Amino acid sequence: MTEIRLIGAGGEYMDSAVLVEWHVRPGDAVAKGQLVATVETAKAATEVEAPVGGTVAELLAAVGDEVAVGAAIARLAGGNGAMEPASPRGPGLPRRLPAGFASPLARRLARDAGIDLSALRGSGPHGRITRRDVLSAAPRAPEPRPEPEPRPEPEHGRSGGYRRAMAAQMARTLQIPMFSVSVDCDGSALLAERRRIKAVGGIATVNDLIVFRVARLLARHPDLNAHWAEDRSVPQERVNVGVAMATEAGLVVPVLRDADRLSLAETAAGLRRLRERAEAQGLAAAEVSGATLTVTNLGGFGVADFVPIVNPPQVAILAVAAFRPTAVFDGARLESRPVARLTMSADHRAVDGAGVARFLDALRADLEAFSVVA
């Protein structure tokens, strides 16, 4: 008898995951490497595969259960690794998910729209059907329904499990002696540069421009590009910027790796790709791990000011508020300019207020004189 155990593939501080879905039942024959379950951590959905071939003898956890890392979730009979694959694919072919396999959100949308998932071709990882695939196949109604549609019921195990995992991660921040420093930034040059890029057919959001500048600057501030490990701060060789994104399933922080080496176009393209994968709930564990600093931007919601929470083992996080028309004196003249508040929270064990202030002052100067060439 072979046990299928949950391994720690969800990034830093993963100690448990919520079982979202079983893809097998007792009595099913499975091949080595076949998808048997989907679990969800605070950061991403992760697939669990059979370590050997065999027959499913028993499922040890139910959908919605929180499972500790290392715990067994199923048992396989005859699991000696010698069983032939259950599907006709050769061992060298890329693994594809079963036809009609979809994310929970995609399944709910398909059910509501009466769409047969087996008829769709998935664009997600390994052929997974995503929300976008379902929406593309949905027929357009000729007229909107006069009565409001009822709110869909949350899927069993996903919303609550995701929140529990996120809550556990955030609870760890209570052990961090955090402090925050804020500066106001004139966004006139930044917004003008974005308009110029758009005018010549380029694609870049305000957040793309800010992440681009943060990454370049972070390479010159190793005290902030660091992880706290036990009793000391460890500067990181690579600049990996985490970017907080709100999705229908909740908050997720995908990581733009080696961000200081990317051009603005590469930064914008990388963040678009990560957002698409985040919205499709298709981020791999490696795409949500290893951030050395996080940027969170609530400017799109019109937020004037907010204080972010450091996500360990990182030692700092930057919050960007909305650019709002603000009266500013330019010499003797009073002008209206777009001004946003930038707030950085940091771990006082790793960095002091002066270090954070120097970074924010340099970032403000970069943004107020923004140029892609500079």
H-state helical runs in the chain: 104-113, 131-137, 159-171, 188-199, 206-218, 264-279, 353-368
User: Which of 15, 258, 348, 361 is an active site residue?
Assistant: 348
Tell me if residue 348 is catalytic. yes
205: enclosing H helix or E strand: none
Length, in residues, of the chain = 374
Residue 48: both structure tokens together:
């669990």
Cβ–Cβ < 8 Å for 97, 121: no
* Helix, strand, coil percent values for the chain (each to nearest 5): 30, 25, 45
User: Residue 301 has what DSSP assignment?
Assistant: G
Residues 182 and 164: their CA atoms lie apart, in Å, by 31
Residue 221 catalytic? Answer: no
Pairing mode, if any, of strands 293-297 and 316-320?
Answer: parallel
| Distance from the first to the final alpha carbon of the chain | 62
Pairing assessment for the beta strands 232-235 and 29-30 based on DSSP bridges: unpaired
Closest CA to 22 of 55, 61, 53: 61
Contact 309, 171 (CB under 8 A): no
CA distance linking residue 8 with residue 69, whole number of Å: 6
Active-site pick, 15, 258, 352, 361: 352
> Rounded to an integer, what distance in angstroms lies between the CA atom of residue 69 and that of residue 155?
23
Among 199, 209, 180, which Cα is nearest to 299's? Answer: 209
Do the beta carbons of residue 70 and residue 5 sit within 8 Å? yes
- Residue 258 DSSP symbol: T
Q: Quickly list DSSP for 10-68.
A: S-TT--EEEEEEE---TT-EE-TT-EEEEEE-SS-EEEEE-SS-EEEEEE-S-TT-EEE
Catalytic residues, by residue number, are 348, 352
